[in-house]
Structure 1
């Protein structure tokens, strides 16, 4: 397997990535020559001090920001210069978990998770409902299926957001500080779930975190400082 065939097996491949914010005199470089290949089914953690560029790298990999300079290949597709329609199609194959849970306050836990399937427009309603209930059970909310977000704790809301991101079986999950709002046990549960999906389904997870409890579970820890990769450690 060489050339293109080999490459498509790598879910995320970044080469020579630079990124700038602002224009004219105010233009400032935020990312410098970042290159990284992420293995399928792995849990990769991006860490570094505030302002080190880790969230910028995550959003560039995740098709949430335009690639200006360098190459990002996501699921075998080049993002630099990709048309918006291609990027929308790619985003449907991804899962996103953010620090803010972004739940719809007027919808129950189950309905919020179903939103994660609506964008895909596939499957009948009974199947969707079963999938939503199943994944809420996996994140420990089987007894909160019909609760509105207002009746859930911060940690429970975040677990609903995780369930919503995972219900569609995404190929790659991008997570930005997903455990910040969670207590130790919930945080570990969520990360272990992502690890299990990696093992069973080949789901690849790329996560920005400051959470030292997560680092023991990571397959690889990439450290950024001032927009550059300064350390790249793989678990033995």
Structure 2
């Protein structure tokens, strides 16, 4: 991974995520239920923001709305200054190319090696440079402590090792923003700390922004900001 010091300078770089008056519902008709209520939030570029709250509080829904994984139904979500509400598929794809995603379930392809899974994180960029892809993938796996697992299939990796492969896949494309859903849940203290320190370093050196859902109290002290949700509403927003 080529970690460099160039920070994006477009109109949305100071606040790569800007949310205003956001509401969201699940279901249809009488089963329709509101799950996000009038959320307003701007995320500072280069920061590590943690979303916390009990199960069902709306954390992951908010994360997926900000990350172009759900359609915005009401309100405004801007990504790098681009409005997502009503955005075309072409505009959404352009934004997704600037993102990395780390999911609670590692979502690895069982038939691909660790290296091949990580290389998939570069395919969204639409380039075909296998040598550079391979080098970047091996570099990230090495940083994740998996330098001896390049050719292992997921079935031969532990749960924590699979999650570290997923983290490497999210970071290999040098994203401007990382969305992470419980990225340290399957990791021990040392491995989890390694992931968070890498995200913090990318924020300091490159301006990479991280928005993370977690219940892991071990990493709260590393956050620049902790936002707490309950029943779809922001109930606390503390800068650290």
TM-score scaled to structure 2, two decimals? 0.93
CA contact (8 A) 2:77 2:85 kept: yes
Q: Are 2:214 and 1:209 equivalent residues in the alignment? A: yes
In the TM superposition, residue 54 of structure 1 has moved relative to its aligned partner by: 0.7
Partner of 1:157: 162
8 Å Cα contact 2:13/2:45 also seen in 1: no
Spell out structure 1 runs of 4+ moving beyond 6 A.
Answer: none
Q: Does 1:70 align with 2:75?
A: yes
Q: State how far apart, in whole Å, the 1-side matches of 2:131 and 2:33 are.
A: 51
Q: Aligned ranges for residues 147-226 of structure 1 at < 5 Å? A: 147-226=152-231
Residue matched to 2:6: none
- Pairwise CA distance, 1:185: 1.2
- Give the unaligned 5+ runs of structure 2: 1-9
Residue 85 of structure 1 and its aligned partner are, at CA, apart by: 1.9
Distance in 2, Cα, partners of 1:201 & 1:87: 23
Contact 2:58 2:232 in 1 (8 A): yes
Q: What root-mean-square deviation, in Å, do the aligned CA atoms of Structure 1 and Structure 2 show?
A: 1.2
- SS in structure 1 of the partner of residue 125 of structure 2: coil
Contact 2:11 2:81 in 1 (8 A): no
1:186 counterpart SS class: helix
TM-score of the two chains, using structure 1 as the length reference:
0.95
Q: Does 1:129 align with 2:142?
A: no
Question: Paired residues, what number?
Answer: 231
Deviations 1:184-229 (Å, cap 9, x if unpaired)? 1111111111111111111100000000011111110000011110
Is 1:142 paired with 2:143?
no
